[in-house]
C-alpha cells in the first residue's frame, strides 16, 4: 500500500513523537520514542520504520513539524 503523506510532530501531552500516516481520509497515528531534540535523520528513520510496520511503502513524502 502507498500512503499519501507522512507527518511526524512532537506530542507535548505524551512527551514523544507522533507519526501520522495519511491515506485518503484515513489517518493512522502511532507514537515513537525518540528524544525531543532528535536530529532529522533519526526522525526520518523512526517514521520510515513505523510506516513499514503498518504495511505501507517506505518511500513516501515525509514532513517534520517541530
Domain assignment of residue 61, given as a range:
5-65
Q: CA separation (Å) from 48 to 13, 33, 43?
A: 23, 13, 8
Question: Could you tell me which of 11, 52, 5 has the C-alpha nearest to residue 34?
Answer: 11
Based on the structure, what is the number of domains in the chain?
A: 1
pLDDT means per 10 residues, the chain with 66 residues, are 96 97 96 95 96 93 93
DSSP state of 10: E
Amino acid at each position: 500500500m502507498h500512503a499519501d503523506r507522512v507527518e511526524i510532530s512532537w506530542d507535548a501531552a505524551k512527551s514523544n513523537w507522533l507519526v501520522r500516516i495519511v491515506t485518503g481520509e484515513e489517518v493512522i497515528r502511532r507514537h515513537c520514542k525518540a528524544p525531543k531534540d532528535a536530529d532529522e535523520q533519526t526522525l526520518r528513520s523512526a517514521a520510515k520504520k513505523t510506516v513499514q510496520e503498518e504495511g505501507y511503502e517506505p518511500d513516501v513524502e515525509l514532513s517534520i513539524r517541530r
